[in-house]
Amino acid sequence: MLKRIGWALGCLLIAAAFLPLSGCSTRSSDPVLAPDSTWVYPGKQAGDIDARITFADKARTSKKTGKRLGVTNTFEVGVDEKAYAFADLSNPFARGDRVLNFHLVWVNSQDRTIFKKKVDYQPSDSLTTLSSALSLPPGKRAPGPYKFRVYLFRELIAEKSFTLTGEAIQEEEQEGSGEF
C-alpha cells in the first residue's frame, strides 16, 4: 500500500515539475504574417479564434460596396484627427457559447501602452468586427512607428504596425493605465 502511494506521489511530483514548462497558453508564440501585414498568433488548436487588423482614417464604409473607406497605414497628427483600427474576427464561436474578453491596445514606438479598450464579446453578438479609435492631437503624439494589438483572454492574437507622421514633440503622455 505504501509503495503505491509513494509511486503515485512520485508521478504527481514529476508531472508538477513539467507543468511550468508546458505553459497554459492556447496560442503559438511564433506569429505568422498574413497577406494584409497583420501578425497573427495562431491558436494551438486548428480553427481557433483569430483576427485581421485594418486601419482607416474614417469610421465609415461605402454604402454601395460595403468596403471600409480611408484604409491606410499612415496617419498625420492634427486637430480632430483620429486613427481607427478594426479587428475582423474569424471563428468567434470556436470556444463555444461563452463571453469572450478582448483588449484592444494601442502601443507607441517605445512599446508602451498609450490607450486600451476592453470589449466583452457576447455569444449573441452578430457583428464580427471590433473597433477602437486613437486621437492624434498635435503636441501629444510623437511621429514614428506604432502598433495596435488584439488580446483574447490576455493572450496576444494579432498585431499590426502603422506610422504616425507630423511634428516632433518633447515627451509623449501616457493615456492608458498600467497592465490589464
Residues near 83 by Cβ (< 8 Å), separated by ≥ 6? Answer: 55, 57, 75, 133, 134, 136, 162, 164
Asked whether the beta carbons of 58 and 84 are under 8 A apart, the reply is yes
How do 113-121 and 100-107 pair as beta strands? antiparallel
Model confidence pLDDT, tens digit, residues 122-159? 888 888 999 999 999 888 888 999 999 999 999 999 99
> Can you give the pTM of this predicted structure?
0.77
Across 132-166, b (16+ Cβ under 10 Å) vs e yields: bebebeeeebbbeebbbbbbbeeebbbbbbbebeb
Find, among 42, 74, 60, the residue nearest to 161 by Cα. Answer: 74
Model confidence pLDDT, tens digit, residues 80-137? 899 999 999 998 888 878 899 999 999 999 999 999 999 999 888 888 999 999 999 8
Question: CA-CA distance, 59 to 103, in Å (whole number)?
Answer: 19
Judge whether residue 21 has pLDDT over 70: no
Question: CA-CA distance, 62 to 51, in Å (whole number)?
Answer: 22
